[in-house]
Amino acid sequence: MTDAPSRPAVEVRGLTKRFGARTAVDSLGFACAAGEVFGFVGPDGAGKTTIMRLLAAVMPPDAGSIVIEGVDAVREPERVRSHVSYMPQRFGLYEDLTVDENIAFFAELFGIRRNDRDARAARLLAASGMTPFRKRRAGQLSGGMKQKLGLTCSLIHTPKVLLLDEPTAGVDPVSRRDFWRILYGLRGEGVAIVVATSYLDEAERCGRLGLMREGRMLYCDTPSALKALMPGEILAIAAPAPRAARDVVASLEGVGGAILMGDSVHVVVDGAARRLGAIEAALAAANVPFDEIERIAPSIEDLFVSLLTEKAE
């Protein structure tokens, strides 16, 4: 006899939200298991923030269902909030209060006993490197430290589901690394994490990803499975003037797209070996210098830009 499969921590079906004539979320469906990190990625206006607000029961949907930890979030929004912690893009810290005072305030809101609060706060602050700053006012913290404090406050009541809307926007790389270290630790505690991010390198850290565009989820799978959808191959051109290089190669035969990536250009081609010579010749003819051209494995950013461009055509 086998055990029945456990239900998802978050299960969404047919979720739709409209603002006037605009459909912000269009028939969304997905599930997130306990201990899983599920990410939403997409351009501005894709509906990511609206999804988070719907899941947090901040606003009602126009259609569809949301079940969190077995609770119908549409019918019982107040009840579901005890299972969920929602960290919006700008978390509401009190800047005149210290780190410890902010944590105590949020713990009080959720009726957390002092001993439990102190033990959990100590673990979370140690994990994020915030322990030396417990007596510092929140208004004197850096952007990254504020986000880590916001996460600590969000987790002080030990939620089963954590909703994060662009949690590391504008945060320095070290703080982003610390932030994700905490999230990975939460997976081991069985917390289901749903995150919206604009950092595509962070998307690689998610167990599964949903690619959003104009309120619709175009694709949903693991990062590795999504990369397998990449049409063609990638040639990376390292050049002193990458914009000029991009302009030269973008319209060549066999080129499906050319994307600026820092000081290089990632070129989507129907065959790297077939097109390499023609690309080199075109750059030389246009007097556009380059250091090297090499075939590389596609990144999530290559994939998403290519798929979004393909869907828009």
Distance CA(155)–CA(46), nearest Å, equals 27
Q: Is the pLDDT of residue 304 over 80?
A: no
Distance CA(144)–CA(169), nearest Å, equals 9
Contacts of 303 (CB under 8 A, 6+ apart): 226, 227, 229, 230
Using one digit for the tens of pLDDT, what is the confidence trace for 203-230? 889 999 999 989 999 999 999 898 888 8
Which backbone phi and psi does 119 adopt, to 5 degrees?
Answer: -65, -45
Q: Which of 12-26, 239-253, 289-303 has the lowest mean pLDDT?
A: 289-303
Average pLDDT over residues 184-190: 88
Distance CA(166)–CA(54), nearest Å, equals 15
Using one digit for the tens of pLDDT, what is the confidence trace for 270-293? 999 999 999 999 999 999 999 999
Cβ burial of 287 (10 Å; 0-12, 13-18, 19+) is exposed
Beta carbons within 10 angstroms of residue 91's beta carbon: 19
Average pLDDT over residues 11-27: 97
User: Quick check: 263 and 239 in contact, CB under 8 A?
Assistant: yes
Average pLDDT over residues 164-193: 86
Q: Is the pLDDT of residue 100 over 80?
A: yes
Could you give all domains of the chain from N- to C-terminal order, each with its CATH number? 10-225 (3.40.50.300), 231-297 (3.30.70.100)
**Strands, E assignment, the chain:** 10-19, 22-32, 37-41, 63-68, 71-72, 84-87, 161-165, 192-196, 208-213, 216-221, 233-238, 255-261, 264-269, 292-296
Contacts of 208 (CB under 8 A, 6+ apart): 36, 38, 39, 220, 221, 222
pLDDT of residue 110: 82
Q: Closest Cα to residue 141, out of 101, 81, 188?
A: 101
